[in-house]
Amino acid sequence: METPINALVADMVEILDDCLREDFEERSAIMEYDAELPRAHAECLALLDVLRRHPSMLYGVTVLRAVLNDSDLWLLTTDIDRTRQHVAEIGAIEIGVSDLKDVIDQQFSGITALASIK
């Protein structure tokens, strides 16, 4: 995709992972062509929609869910590639990436504690 017109939108889109970037591009194209919005407006709205659905992208923390010995692992990370490598090294199976707020609310009834992994 082309670089977004607005510099702020371009900077924020730059930090999206591949999946969210694809989501942004799809939403932007739909709004531009189907809703006949100017490209810059469509890009702004598409970014807002991605942020609304994935607010954790703003603070650079990813929650990776994995399973090890029939137990769920909820791993918070600022380095998803290193975390995926760690998951593979310990023999866990990656299930997917989740939104931090949703995980805390749904899996831990609104409160949880952090512990480091060595």
CA distance 57 to 29: 21
94 forms beta bridges with 66
The answer to whether the beta carbons of residues 67 and 92 sit under 8 Å apart is yes
Q: What is the pLDDT of residues 52-106, one digit of tens each?
A: 888 877 888 889 999 999 999 999 998 888 999 999 999 999 999 888 888 999 9
Q: Where are the domains of the chain?
A: 7-57, 62-108
Q: Please report, for residues 4, 34, 54, the alpha-carbon distance to residue 57 in angstroms, rounded to integers and kept in the order given.
A: 18, 27, 6
On the question of pLDDT at 24 being above 80, the answer is yes
Under a CB-based contact definition with an 8 Å cutoff, are residues 6 and 40 in contact?
A: yes
- Give 4's contacts (C-beta < 8 A, 6+ positions apart): 10, 13, 28, 40, 43, 47
Q: What is the DSSP letter of 3?
A: P
